[in-house]
Structure 1
Amino acid sequence: MHAAAIVAAAGSGSRLGADLPKALVPLAGRPLVCRAVDALLDGGVAEVVVVVPPAQRAEFEAALPAGVVVVDGGATRTASVRAGLAAVGPAATAVLVHDAARPLTPPAVIARVLDALAAGAPAVVPVLPVVDTTVLVDADGLVTDTVPRAPLRRVQTPQGFDRATLEAAYAGLEADAELTDDAAVVRRAGVPVATVAGDDLCAKVTVAHDLTLAELVLRAGDAREPVW
């Protein structure tokens, strides 16, 4: 199996309080996107396409290692993944879609996704159990019910797909549709989505607090006992 990865890196850094794209924000001296790409390559991906804000394309090309393909993103995440999918090389039979904002994702998670695809799953996502009590609230903010936690999972990335399956799902997706992740795209097309174990280190960097926690993890030098 020849696997390619698309890294979604076109988001702004506004919620981080940064004046540059979030994927270029440094974590312990290296941009988030570079750490995400390294993990994908270490986990067994053969090629990487990074989808970036067009105005900062030169900065991404300067930061990323040789061999990584850089393409302009669209106005939405769905449009950006479409652009990345169009740039994947012809040899790829599997495609992973990953968030640049998950810089500490262990290569073992990526390997688990690839193993599930190699075993025949058309689509697979890494997940973690929901550990907090989860409730439903009404329009006034009052709790109306408690949701059973046992069947609930938190979905992470990279999400993996048989290439033909993902391409067909995107081809059939309405032009103005904007879904939260790529598993939702294939599920809309009727494709079953398998799961593998995720990892707390796959946590997404969204606000400044997340970046501080990620720096603490790296400073501690312990990749199996995250502090968040």
Structure 2
Amino acid sequence: MTDEARPPRTAVVIPAAGRGVRLGPGAPKALRALNGTPMLIHAVRAMAASRAVSLVVVVAPPDGAVGAAEVKNLLDTHALPERTDYVVVPGGETRQESVRLGLAAVPDDVSVVLVHDAARPLVPVDTVDAVVEAVRDGAVAVVPALPVADTVKEVEPAEEPGAPEQVVATPVRARLRAVQTPQGFDRDTLVNAHATVALTGEGATDDAGMVEKLGAPVVVVPGHEEAFKVTRPLDLVLAEAVLARRRANDGF
């Protein structure tokens, strides 16, 4: 196959430096066990399951008992597809800074970059492939998303936690989507966003939102209910149930 006929190389950046305080005390969120295996390993395997993905960049906690060396040792002990390489780099103090550091480790010949939450360990490979395909077809930024089931209220935040909050608007639910990951990007567009959009506060929680601030178009592809984010203890219970069903149905 000639170079012109080859599809663009795709890499995934997985920021895994978050502490995950809402899950309670213990290891960093990405290293919490799910069915006996750290969530990070599930997330890396989910990305590597796509034949389009040739490199996974894991961004490790920048300090503490678990750092880049420990995360690399963890990845070394778990089987990954031979076609997928991986590297581990230290992260920053915010998610945005961690993604930027991971992006800097992506080789120059990679033109499609996905950014995936380590706390979304169960995303199906079809969702990953759909995001990659949309970028390869010309979209500069792609997010998987689901319609919102609940009515959403915009409120004026209360100064005291738990205090009543005044409703200021009710957005039209049909126009709302709950965004998931992996989010996919034309590499140059994402690099430009991280170089242009200023770091403020805790940084960006959504890379597509940074691209929006550049005025570039962002498109949505269908997400999946199993690509939910493990944030609270109940999410761990749900994730275990999904894995149990997969084992029963597919021998996963």
User: Residues 68, 87 of structure 1: CA spacing in aligned structure 2 closer, same or farther, 3 A cutoff?
Assistant: same
The residue type paired with residue 58 of structure 1 is: A
Task: Say whether the 8 Å CA contact 1:51–1:81 is kept in structure 2.
Answer: yes
Match of 1:128 in 2: 146
TM-score by length of 2: 0.84
Match of 1:99 among 113, 117, 120: 117
Match of 2:231 in 1: 206
Aligned-residue identity in percent: 49
Match of 1:88 among 106, 109, 114: 106
The residue type paired with residue 52 of structure 1 is: A
Task: Say whether the 8 Å CA contact 1:13–1:19 is kept in structure 2.
Answer: no
The residue type paired with residue 60 of structure 1 is: V
Find the aligned partners of 1:137 and 1:185 in 2 and give their Cα distance: 24
Match of 1:195 in 2: 220
Match of 2:4 in 1: none
The residue type paired with residue 107 of structure 1 is: V
The residue type paired with residue 182 of structure 1 is: D
Match of 1:10 in 2: 17
Shift of 1:220: 2.0
Shift of 1:16: 1.4
Find the aligned partners of 1:54 and 1:98 in 2 and give their Cα distance: 18
Match of 1:64 in 2: 75
Shift of 1:212: 1.0
Deviates more, 1:64-73 or 1:76-85: 64-73
Runs of 4+ in 1 over 6 A off after TM superposition: none
Find the aligned partners of 2:59 and 2:126 in 1 and give their Cα distance: 24
Task: Say whether the 8 Å CA contact 2:154–2:167 is kept in structure 1.
Answer: yes
Match of 2:93 in 1: 75
Deviates more, 1:50-59 or 1:79-88: 50-59
Shift of 1:109: 0.4
How many residue pairs end up in the alignment? 224
Match of 1:152 among 173, 176, 179: 176
Find the aligned partners of 2:200 and 2:150 in 1 and give their Cα distance: 34
Which protein has the larger Cα radius of gyration, Structure 1 or Structure 2?
Answer: 2
Shift of 1:68: 1.5
1:167 aligns with 2:191: yes
Task: Say whether the 8 Å CA contact 2:112–2:135 is kept in structure 1.
Answer: yes
User: Residues 145, 167 of structure 1: CA spacing in aligned structure 2 closer, same or farther, 3 A cutoff?
Assistant: closer
TM-score by length of 1: 0.92
Shift of 1:59: 2.1
Gaps of 5+ in 1: none
SS in 1 for 2:150: coil
Shift of 1:18: 3.8
1:177-196 matches, within 5 Å, as: 178-196=203-221
Find the aligned partners of 1:6 and 1:125 in 2 and give their Cα distance: 15
User: Residues 216, 136 of structure 1: CA spacing in aligned structure 2 closer, same or farther, 3 A cutoff?
Assistant: same
Shift of 1:133: 1.4
Task: Say whether the 8 Å CA contact 1:18–1:25 is kept in structure 2.
Answer: no
Q: Deviations over 1:98-155 (max 9, x none)?
A: 0000000101100000010111001100010011112233455244543211110001
SS in 1 for 2:174: coil
User: Residues 160, 223 of structure 1: CA spacing in aligned structure 2 closer, same or farther, 3 A cutoff?
Assistant: farther
Task: Say whether the 8 Å CA contact 1:179–1:185 is kept in structure 2.
Answer: yes
User: Residues 223, 42 of structure 1: CA spacing in aligned structure 2 closer, same or farther, 3 A cutoff?
Assistant: farther
Find the aligned partners of 1:146 and 1:136 in 2 and give their Cα distance: 6
Find the aligned partners of 1:71 and 1:145 in 2 and give their Cα distance: 42
Find the aligned partners of 1:106 and 1:89 in 2 and give their Cα distance: 26
